Every structure is written in structure tokens, then in C-alpha cells.
Structure 1
């Protein structure tokens, strides 16, 4: 009786390595898309150009991220999160810091510093979305969605400030949200930083100082932390 033929064990595929490679490819695609969208505009950029810039095939762009409208959304979401994937607002570090800060001045300071870090990434992408919105229905819908989302988040921020009892009594939460919404916009950042040559740090300090003076009932020096 002959011995049974033994099948050699299958070599296990290194799943972590595969995941790392996929993440690196995704980062390359999104970085290429961001560079092209912000430099040339959404309409003028093709998926083929994104693939060439990222050094991958067009099919890889579709497989790792998606079609062009999905690319644009993911470019914005990852610029906002500063990570490879979108992060819900409640899970962002600065949102948690705002909620934990005990005074309105400290909440304002936390948020202003966060915008100074985030706006250099997000403002150029938002400008590209807004430019494309006039000619592209999908971009128009995305622009409206992001504007509404920001407005809703500003109302939550206003409620956080209101809860401290330190806001001016003549300002409603909607007033506070609108003031913050306007000054935290991509347009305001780009005017000051790109047009007037401010640094992002100066922009953040300006927001902190202005919001402290305009929104608080007692904007005492140093109250913003």
C-alpha cells in the first residue's frame, strides 16, 4: 500500500501588506486628484490624467476610489479629516476638544486653531467645487450639501457657546452660527491668505480675536485662552 500523496500547505497571503499597498494606492490617487482639481479645475481634469499623475491605470482609480464625482467628494472629505478616510464630525479631535473646553473663549480658541490647520487643505478644494458648481450638476449638489452641512455644524458650535452663558444676549444662535459660518468659509481664508499674504496662523489668531470680541458678552483680554 502506497503512502497518500501529501498536498503542500497553501501559502497564506500577507493580508496586512495587501491592505497597506491598497491604502498607499488610494492616497496616491487622491493626492493626484487634489493637485489636478485645484490647479486645473474639476471640469478640465479627466480620470485619465489623475491615473497618469498617480502612476496607476484608470481601472485602478475606479477600483480604489470611484468615478470622477466620487473622487471629488473623497478629496474633500480626506482633506477635512487629514486622514485617508472621512471622519464623522463627532469623532474629530478638535470637536471633542471644543466640547470639553469649559469656557466660550476656550471653545473659540480651539476651533480657530483647528481651522488654521485645516483650511490650507480644504479651502482650495472647496474653491474648486464652487467653481465647478456653476457648470456641473453633480458639483452643484455637492457644493449645496457641504454648505448646508457646515451651517448645521455652526449651529451646534453656537449651542456649545450658548451653554456657557457667556454669549451676548442680543445675538441668537442663528446669528452666532452665521457669523462663524461666514468667517470660517473658504472664501474668507483665501482672501486673507492668498490675496493678502497672511499666514494660516495669523488667520487663526484673527478668527479667535474677532469671534471673542464680537460674540462674547465680556470679551476680557485673555479670556480666549
Structure 2
């Protein structure tokens, strides 16, 4: 009897966890759609709740206030999953570090930047808008920029270890070059304004970085 009670409790707990996860995804999906369609400032928590089919209190419980919602959208867009994944654990980072040549590392990373950009572009536009008037969102935008810069220093060091980087470029300069060209603003010029496809953009990055950064 006691074991049956424990089993029912475990089952009930698992069902609640699944329901909570589904609710969170619905809220994030609704927030993404509304931020993209109407902008951050014009989107209310009530509108997000209505789009997600939940109560306003449920939105707060699932993801928090609008700045917290936007942070969740940023993190999940970067990870490509429904959860935050630290940079060093992301699949493409693991593959970059496992690659033996600088050209292969660059090709893997450029393709990942192009793929992430598809998910990240509308979220970045919402974040840029929100940063103008919301201090929490401005801090998030600065944090993301700093994280990218730190990660690019690691990438530069990883490339340097192959022995293929140009000797006249210090690692900090390599990192700054990659950091500037993987930015959402740079992508917006070529993909958003000039109509490049994500695939063309990724191929361009790989070619440009190979020509700019490597010997020969």
C-alpha cells in the first residue's frame, strides 16, 4: 500500500512538472510572437497571458516580469533549446573545440552563428528596443555583449593553439574581429537589409574569417 502511494505521488509530481514545462513554453512562445509583432513596450503581460491561454498570475509564476521573459527568450534562442545552456556545453562549441584545424573550427562556428541568428534576430530587436527605457533590459544587453567578447577570447585562444593564426594579430584583436562580425547588428545589414540568406551569411563569415585571420 505504501509503495502504491509513493508511486502515485511520483506520477502526480511528474505530471505537474510536465504541465509546468508546457505552460512555460506556451508563455515564452506567446511573448516571442508579441514582442516580434508589436514590440516590447507595446506588449503587456495581460496580452501575453491571453495569447498563451493562461492567467496573468501564471505568466509571472512561469517566467516572471517582462525583463525576465526577455532574458529567457535570449537564453533559449542562444541555446537552441527550451532551457538555458552554458556556452561551453552547447553542441557547436563542443564540436569547435574537438576540431583539429583552424579552418574546421571557423567553419563550424560560422555555421552556428548563422543558425543562431535566425532564432535570435527578432529577440535582439526586442532587446534593443527595450534597452532604451528599461534598465534591466539595458543591463541584459550589456551582459550579452560582454559574454560574447569573453567567449571570443576563448575562441581566439583555441584557434591560436592550432598554429594557423596570423602571427601579426594578437588574440585580443582576433577576438574583437570575430565579436564585431558575429553581432546581430552586422547580420542585420547583410541578411535584414541586403536580403542575404542565413546560409550565404554563414559561408561569408567562414570565408572572411579564414582570409582575415589565418596564415596563407
Q: Same fold (TM over 0.5)?
A: yes
* TM-score, normalised via structure 2 length: 0.93
Contact 1:123–1:187 (8 Å) recurs in 2 = no
Q: Show the counterpart of 1:141.
A: 139
Bigger radius of gyration, 1 or 2? Answer: 1
Contact 1:127–1:187 (8 Å) recurs in 2 = no
How far the C-alpha of 1:83 sits from its partner, in A, is 1.1
Q: Show the counterpart of 1:34.
A: 32
Q: Give the secondary-structure state (helix, strand or coil) at the position aligned to 2:133.
A: coil
How far the C-alpha of 1:17 sits from its partner, in A, is 2.5
Q: Show the counterpart of 1:68.
A: 66
Q: Distance in 2 between matches of 1:134 and 1:174?
A: 29
How far the C-alpha of 1:77 sits from its partner, in A, is 0.4
Tell me, which stretches of 5 or more residues in structure 1 are unaligned?
A: 1-5, 219-225
Q: Give the secondary-structure state (helix, strand or coil) at the position aligned to 1:23.
A: helix
Show CA shifts across 1:93-118 (max 9, x none): 11110100001000000101111211
In terms of mean alpha carbon deviation, does 13-22 or 39-48 score higher?
13-22
Q: Show the counterpart of 2:76.
A: 78
In terms of mean alpha carbon deviation, does 199-208 or 128-137 score higher?
128-137
Q: Distance in 1 between matches of 2:122 and 2:186?
A: 12
- The 5 A counterparts of 1:1-225 are 11-12=8-9, 13-218=11-216
In terms of mean alpha carbon deviation, does 17-26 or 90-99 score higher?
17-26
Tell me, which stretches of 5 or more residues in structure 2 are unaligned?
A: none
Q: Which runs of 4+ in 1 moved over 3 A?
A: 9-13
Q: Show the counterpart of 1:3.
A: none
In terms of mean alpha carbon deviation, does 209-218 or 132-141 score higher?
132-141
Structure 1 or 2: more helix by fraction: 2
